[in-house]
Amino acid sequence: MMRPRRLPPCLAAAILTATAVAVLLLSASSPGGALLASRQSPPPPARPEWGPGRPPSFAYWISGTRNDSRRALRLLRAVYHPRNRYLLHLDAAADAAEREAMAEAVRGEPAWREFRNVDVVGEAYAVDRTGSSALAAALHGAAVLLKVGAHWDWLVTLSAADYPLVTQDDLLYAFSSVPRDLNFIDHTSDLGWKEHERFEKLIVDPSLYMDRNTEPFPGTGTRPMPDAFKIFTGSPWVILSRNFTEHCVYGLDNLPRKLLMYFANTAYSVEAYFQTLICNSSDFRNTTVNGDLRYFVWDDPPGLDPLVLNESHFQNMVNSSTAFARRFEEDAPVLKKIDDELLNGSSVQLVPGIWCSNLSKEQGRMDVESCLKWGDINTVRPGHSGEKLWRYISTISQTRGCS
C-alpha cells in the first residue's frame, strides 16, 4: 500500500492562511474545529532548514482542562523552540474566556508571533481521560498537527501537569542521531488483572456525545478477548514518528480504524491503542522502542494517578535521564528548581537556547523576558543533560520491537 506523501509547501501555506481566517471567525462566533493562530507578522529573520544534517523537529500536543491555561503556557515556554510545532487544547471544562485568554497570551509572545508555530484549538469538546474521548482528542491533535506542520519528525503528547527535564537544545540534539522512524511507546503484553477488568468489561464514555466532561459508566455484559489482534498496554504518554502518526490518522490500513472502534468501549483506551496498533502492524512493529522517556512515581499501592512530584524527587528525576516528568502542581517550587538547574533559565519565560541570542527584558515590560535578537535556529548546543539523554536513548533504542 502506498503511503501518503507529506504536504507540499504550497498546501501548507494555504492551511496557515485558512488558520488565520478561522481566528477571526472564532473571535466573532465559535466555529467547530477552529484554530486560534498567532497574528500575521513579518517573516522571521532566519528560516528553519530541514532534512539531513539538520536537527529534527517535534510536534507537541499539550492538553489541559479548566484552570490549566497558566500551567500550559508555562510548559509551552519551557519546551519552546522555533523548529517545533505546538498545539494547545483546553477541554470543555474550561470556559471560552480562559481559552481566549490563552490564545491572547500566545499572540502576545514576540517569538511565537514571529515563528507562527503555536496554535490553540478554538473548539471546546468534552474529554474524560479515563475514557475513549481522551484518545479521540489526541488523534484530533495529531491530525491537526499533520496538517499545519509539514516538517516535524515526532509527535509528543503532554498534559498541562507535565514539565521537561531538558532544554529543547538538549532534546533536539539527543534525537539528532535517532532514526526518524522510531516510536517511543512504553508497552507490555502482560495484561494481568487488566485482561478482565479493562478488556473483557465494557464502558460507555458520555464525553463522546455530551457537551460537558462526563465520567464513563460501566456497560452490561462482557466480551471475550480478541483473537484478530493481540492487546498491549502501557503508558498513555507517547512519542510517535511522523510516519506512524500518519498511519494512525489516515487509516489506509484498516487496523487503526478497527482498533479505534474496539477501544471506544474500553476504559483507559489511551493506554492501549497506540501499543496494540503498533505491535500488531508488521510494518511498524520493528520501530517500537519500549519507553516513554517520562519520569513518574507510583504510590504503593498505586493510585489512579502517579504521585505529585516535589523537591524530594528532584535527584531521582535528574538521575532518570528522561526528557519529561509528571505530575506537577501549578507553580510548585520544584518547577523553579528545574528551571534554574536543568533548563538554564528562570520561571515564567522562554528557556534560552542558541536560537535566541539575547533573551532580555523588553523596554516597558518588566514582567517577562523576551527574545530581543534571533540567533541560529538550525543549530543546537546541548548541555550536559543533552549528552546524558543521548546516551540513554541510544541504549534503550538498541532493543526494538514488541515483547
Ligand X SMILES: *[C@@H]1O[C@H](CO)[C@@H](O)[C@H](O)[C@H]1NC(C)=O
Residues making contact with ligand X (CB under 6 A): 3, 66-67, 181, 229-230, 243, 279-283, 286, 307, 310, 312, 315-316, 319, 344, 352, 358, 360, 372, 383, 401-402
Q: Please give the DSSP secondary-structure letter assigned to residue 365.
A: -
The residue assigned the cell 490564545 is: 103
Q: How far is CA 290 from the centre of its chain?
A: 18
Comparing CA positions, the residue from 273, 232, 226, 220 lying closest to residue 251 is 273
Which of residues 176 and 310 has its CB atom nearest to ligand X in the complex?
310
- In whole angstroms, the minimum distance from the beta carbon of 362 to ligand X comes to 8
Which of residues 22 and 156 has its CB atom nearest to ligand X in the complex?
156
The Cα 217–Cα 130 span in angstroms is 10
Exposure b/e, 8-35, CB count within 10 A at least 16 = b: eeeeeeebbeebbebbeebeeeeeeebb
Q: Where are the alpha helices (DSSP H) in 127-167?
A: 133-148
Q: What are phi and psi of 301, to 5 degrees?
A: -70, 155
Q: Please give the DSSP secondary-structure letter assigned to residue 400.
A: B
The Cα 173–Cα 55 span in angstroms is 7
Handedness of CA 387, 393, 395, 397 (dihedral sign): negative
Amino acid at 391: R
Helix (H, G, I), strand (E, B), or coil: what is residue 232? coil
> Backbone dihedral region of 100: left (phi > 0), alpha (psi from -120 to 50 degrees) or beta?
alpha
Which of residues 12 and 18 has its CB atom nearest to ligand X in the complex?
12
Which of residues 229 and 374 has its CB atom nearest to ligand X in the complex?
229
Which of residues 17 and 316 has its CB atom nearest to ligand X in the complex?
316
- In whole angstroms, the minimum distance from the beta carbon of 402 to ligand X comes to 5
- In whole angstroms, the minimum distance from the beta carbon of 207 to ligand X comes to 17
- In whole angstroms, the minimum distance from the beta carbon of 77 to ligand X comes to 15
Which of residues 19 and 266 has its CB atom nearest to ligand X in the complex?
266
- In whole angstroms, the minimum distance from the beta carbon of 2 to ligand X comes to 9
Which of residues 19 and 168 has its CB atom nearest to ligand X in the complex?
168
- Give the angle 124-39-11 at the CA atoms, nearest 5°: 80
What are 110's three cell numbers? 514576540
- In whole angstroms, the minimum distance from the beta carbon of 388 to ligand X comes to 11
Helix (H, G, I), strand (E, B), or coil: what is residue 188? strand
- In whole angstroms, the minimum distance from the beta carbon of 178 to ligand X comes to 12
